[in-house]
Structure 1
Amino acid sequence: MAGQTDGAGGTNGPRIVVVGGGAGGLELATRLGDKLGKRGAAQIILVDRNPTHIWKPLLHEVAAGSMDPNTHQLEYAAQARWHGFEFQQGELKGLDRAAKSIIVSGCVDADGTEVLPERAISYDTLVLSIGSVTHFFGVPGTAEHAIALDTAWQAERFRRRLIAACMRAQNGVGDARPQVDIAIVGAGATGVELSAELRNTAHVLAAYGLHKLDPRHDIRIHLIEGGPRILPVLKERISAATTELLHKLDVDVITSERVTEVTASAVNTASGKSIPADLTVWAAGIRAPSVLGELGLPVNKLGQVVVSRTLQVEGDDSIYAFGDCASCPWPEASSSVPPRAQAAHQQATYLFDALRKRMDGKPVQPFAFKDLGSLVSLGHFSAVGSLMGGLIGGSMFIEGLMARLMYTSLYRMHVLALHGWVRMSVDTVMHWLRSKTNPRVKLH
């Protein structure tokens, strides 16, 4: 029997439970805590299976070793203490809509000893924002031989395997070849950004003497896309410019090749190609976590919760969903709101206002997504993208230094939403100083 928790108490207001501490969920809990939790107008509870938060678009840098996740992770418990909400660690396991409660898994420590039991958490309003996971599409061998980049742990695992592969190749350990092949399946933003970041890593490793391989030719990076071009959801001009930049970095861009199997040493395609791979990263698509299909809520073919334009679940106005785990109408584009960080940020801002209006009995307008454009980072080499919106009267292609500065500002905006101007400014200076004193790639 699951234990019952009533939270920290101290309020007679409604209980708002946010499940998922990604970019959108943590921003929403922080703002609600500051506005409602601190003055006892509502009890805000954030639930996440992990004890720490890291901005997911940074994971390709963690995987390449150019970012130490420990310097960018945020402890949920500390954020809760600072901003007037409560944190409950555990994974969403079930939903009792009649009792208006969720079931959250227990937690164990590094030795496997239980430190938190399975428990029920009641809610007046439930907000689901548990993000997405990698979609392997049932391709044989992916679970055994490919690495996804959904968590900091997975990114760190890839980084360790990369350094080990370079050292084996350099020293001729076992049957290691004098080169390393890295296959990245999926040429969306994650795959493209990782391929460029890995080229930078190869140069840095050579500079530090970790391997004697030629960083451009002995560290071979294969970017594999099933469609006719990379970055398929972005404009063709962005795709073409990025392809040209990747070719200059000696990244092997392979398009129109559907992967049919992943083995320990190769990636095989439908046309009969066998692409050598000492390491394989799968970045070919996303889907919603499978638990959402077990809650009795309406879901689409990708497992996303189907919501209205107010982000509420049909037939239950006490449950909201947003971000990657939700399918929200986007009438202007005759589609759903895309699973991007900017969409989650806009929806968190919308819900912060909508939930307060609902408490006050005021009408709520539907959510309207504003596409501000897309940016793709190619590490310190460059960046490309497009800006959209009323300020520029349409769409504008940007690349180079301007695009890099705009891309960096996206993360700073996330830090600003969590900490405010003062701490964001201090954080920016500290990370700049650290970059001047630490190795450019994490070496251990």
Structure 2
Amino acid sequence: MSTVSVADTGTTTTGAGAHVAPAPGPVAGPLPASVDVAVVGGGCSGIATAVHLAALPGDPSVLVLEGRSTPDPRSWCSWDDGSDPLPEARSASWTRWEVRTDRGTSVGTDPDHPYVLVRAADRRAAAERRLAALGGVRVVDGAPVTAVTAVPVTDGPGVSVESALGTVRAASVLDARGPRCPEHVGAGRVLLHQRFVGHWITADRPVFDTTTATLMDFTGQAAPGPVRFVYVLPVSPTEALVESTLFTPDAADPFDHEDHVTQYVERRWDLRPDEWRIVDSERGCIPMTDAPVRTGARWSDAEAVVGTTRPSSGYGFARSNRHSAVVAQHLAAGTPVPPFVDGWRTRFLDAVFLRFLRDRPEQAPEAFRRLFALPGPLVVRFLTERSTSADDVRIVLALQKPPFLAALVRTVVDAVTRRRTEAVAHADADADVDARRGRAAGSTR
């Protein structure tokens, strides 16, 4: 389920129908003195926002400052909901998927909403072609931003953006870098770290079934522990992304992802160590929490893309694409960017599910098996925030009742406790303000 990752190798290989964008060349000339919009980060959100800005009337000038100087090795996946501004960048897709457990395998399909893989190199190449045709946007690599500060507006745009390649003035600034796992959250909140290591592997013989994506494989787990599974995207009979994923409350969990992948490859496809090799890798951590999470916000003078990753799953690609259109409109207009906020029903269901994953990890495989045993379109509607109340009821009734009822009660208790704590804190703060005012008034008599 990778949506954010950091590579540990410098190479990028292709999958079926994919290609590698050429390595970025040197910057052609100095940075412009000023632009209408500066975007910090040329990843998923940054590029999508730039494409939307380029298509807006008024031809706003846009500068995207990407910190990497080498090709981005990340990949993103989601069910296609029509929100991607660069659909031509699709690297591979599947209309059939499965969840495997020791109790059985659930298979789903939705031809109208395929499961899509987008590799960053393909997306960047598509964006460069689109932006070259539209004009108005420049993407600069090897330009990590070090500071964003407000400056007097009398002699130009009001925000100064300092990067490794120079300084530029901008009327609006967007911090579009990815989410970071927080170290802790407040009382009554849940935080799980979705840690993953994904290897693009090549086998010497055709063993991968390209008709089906394995979203979760929980088979062969003897030892108890946090939720863990393997994720497989087969892009050709001999090429696949095999990813070890862990949902853990411990940021320093010593789980051996490398061994997890190795054992899985040998067990599932009966491949000897000399019959397959790793050609590229990605790894990362995605926050799964019911607490508000900001993806950027290093500087007070930059808008940040806020909270587009769904807490209960870690999926964020389609949500980021949808929000990027809204972000572009506000950046072009010079108005504050609104946060991405889920409806109350989605927030509540996610909070319940997070408590279930934290408190009853041993029952997670069966929960996912039951969920994906439901009709594919229903599951996709739920996972892409398009479900109806009737859909939600049907999903709730399909899951295990006792553990989810316990998670629901825990969610309500946590919410009540949190509100009481916040009310006491506010009351103490108000009392402190009143006391200071009283002392100040007494000193003037």
**TM-score range for the pair, normalised by the shorter chain length:** 0.3 to 0.5
**Structure with larger Rg:** 2
Query: Which structure's relative contact order is higher, taking Cα pairs within 8 Å and 6+ residues apart?
Result: 2
* TM-score, structure 1 normalization: 0.40
* TM-score, structure 2 normalization: 0.40
